[in-house]
Structures are given as structure tokens and as C-alpha cells.
Amino acid sequence: MFDRMRGRVLGVNIVDLLVVLIVVFAVFSYVSKPDESTYGGNQMYSAIQDFQRLDSRGFFVEAEINGTYLWDNTPFKKSGLLLSSSGGRLRLKTTDGTIYVIGGERAYLEDVAASSIKMEPVDSYLVVFNLDEGSYDGFSDLLAYLESVKSEMNADHFYVDVEIAVDAPMTPAERQVVYNEFTGLYLVRNNYFSRTEPDGFVMNLVKAELGELSGLSIPPGKITTGRIRAFAGYASEPEQDFPGDYHIVAASDLLL
């Protein structure tokens, strides 16, 4: 069976045999991996890892979930935005603000046992950069400035991380109105009031899409911002040149 002189097993060269085995293993590994954005209910951890890679680099990720609603064992099929995940589960926020906790095919504590998860980043590319702090006559002036930056960059979406100080009083009732408006936003990772005083307040927006902000009931008053972390989103690779401190991230590079 084994020819020591010629290094053969059953007439096959050992080196050739090893090469064939490596190729077969590589092909099997490739075909057994999920599609870059579609996962079965038994691939929850792969889905979570891919989502977390995208999320950590600033991408919003939408998903279509198919499975079973565990409270009454009815079919479940909904699309929405994935929120931060933990404990082997995902959270899906639909456009009406409802949040579902998604588990794998054997889930029993979550809202839904998923049979398939199809994920897709809202943007294929992000250009990440900073904008200097500034002062504005009102919230609408701040939004107009950000719109001008978005237009100059020919971006499809424009997101900001920013702390905004508003020099205007706000009653608890008015603050509750804005808070309720916050909770109704879709493409916003987080938002909160970090400080409130009799003559003004400070609010923080975390990865907020510019188009979502125009409807907020911010009272008139001078606006001051700290340094703004900005994300310009694109459906296809941007062709224009950017300054050296602008960082381009491709979603496809983050999906292993």
C-alpha cells in the first residue's frame, strides 16, 4: 500500500493527495458558508458577527426575518432595521417603531424563532470624517449647513454624531414632545438629552440620518455644536477624491 521509495499511497503521490484534500476542504468550506447576507435559523451567530462588524464601522443594516412568532406559533415575516445585539439574539425595529427580539431556530424566550435572516446594509460605502464645532442661528440653520455638505459630497445619505446645545428654554411638556419624536425616528442609533437647564438644554444625536431630523420640534434659539462626526453614505463606490483624513469603508470588505 505504501511505497516508501516513491512516497506513494495506493499508487498516488502523497504530495498530490494532500493538494487534492486541501482543495476539497476549501471548496466544502466555501459552499457551506452562508451567502454574504443570507443566513439560516441555525446560523444566528454568523449573522450576529457580520452585523456587529458592519455596525461597529458605522453602517445601518436592514433585515428581512422569516420564522415563527413564538407567542402564538404563527408565521412571522417582517423587515426593518437591526439594533445592537447581545446574548445570541438580534433586535429588529420596524418602520412603525415596534421592536422584535429575534432568536435562532431553537429560540423559546425571544419573540421570534428565525428560519432565515437576510441582511443588507443601507449603504454600500461610507465616507467618515469630522466637521468642526460651530454656532448657528437656529436648528434649521444647522440642518441647512449639513445639507450643503451632503450635497457637495453627492451622498445618498448623511449621518451625524453630534452634541447640540440649544440656547432656548424648554418646558417638561415640550421636552416630552421632542422625546416622543426621537422615539419615532427610524435611521437613528440613539438620541437623548444630556443636560437640561432653565434657559436651555443639550441633546446628543448618535448616528442620526439628516433627513430624519427636519421634523423635530426644537424651539427657536441659538445653536452651538461640538465637533461633528459625519458619515456620508453611498449606494456605489464614490468616484470623487476626498481629503486624506476622510476614511472610506466598504461594507463588502466587512462580510467574511
For 21-77, write each residue's pLDDT tens digit.
Answer: 433 333 333 333 333 589 998 999 999 999 999 999 999 999 999 999 998 999 999
CB 240 within 8 A of CB 167: no
One domain for residues 130 and 248: yes
Cell numbers placing 134: 460651530
String of DSSP letters for 46-82: HHHHHHHHHHHTT--EEEEEEEEETTTTEEEEEEEEE
Give the pLDDT confidence score for residue 256 in this predicted structure: 67
**Amino acid of residue 56:** S
Q: Which residues pair with 163 in a beta bridge?
A: 204
Residue 223 in contact with residue 139, Cβ under 8 Å? yes
**CA distances in angstroms from 186 to 62, 88, 182, 240, listed in the order given:** 11, 23, 9, 29
Query: Number of structural domains, the chain?
Result: 3
Same-domain pairing of 160 and 239: yes
**Residues 22, 54: one domain?**
no
Taking a C-beta distance cutoff of 8 angstroms, is the pair 84, 56 a contact?
no
Task: Please determine, for residue 12, whether its predicted confidence score (pLDDT) is greater than 60.
Answer: no
Q: What is the Cβ-side half-sphere exposure of residue 244, based on CA atoms within 13 angstroms?
A: 0
Host domain of residue 157: 125-254
pTM of the model: 0.80
Both 103 and 151 in a single domain?
no
- pLDDT one-digit tens code per residue, 85-104: 778 899 999 998 899 999 99
Residues 8 and 95 in one domain: no
- The region that residue 104 occupies, defined by phi over 0 for left and psi between -120 and 50 for alpha, beta otherwise, is beta
Between 244 and 139, name the one with better pLDDT: 139
Domain boundary among 121, 140, 155: 121
Please tell me whether residue 218 adopts helix, strand or coil conformation: coil
Rounded-to-integer distance, Cα 136 and Cα 223, Å: 5
Quick one: cell of 96?
412603525
215 with 174, same domain: the answer is: yes
Give the list of residues 6+ apart from residue 165 with CB closer than 8 angstroms, or none. Answer: 200, 201, 202, 223, 224, 225
* pLDDT the model gives residue 194: 85
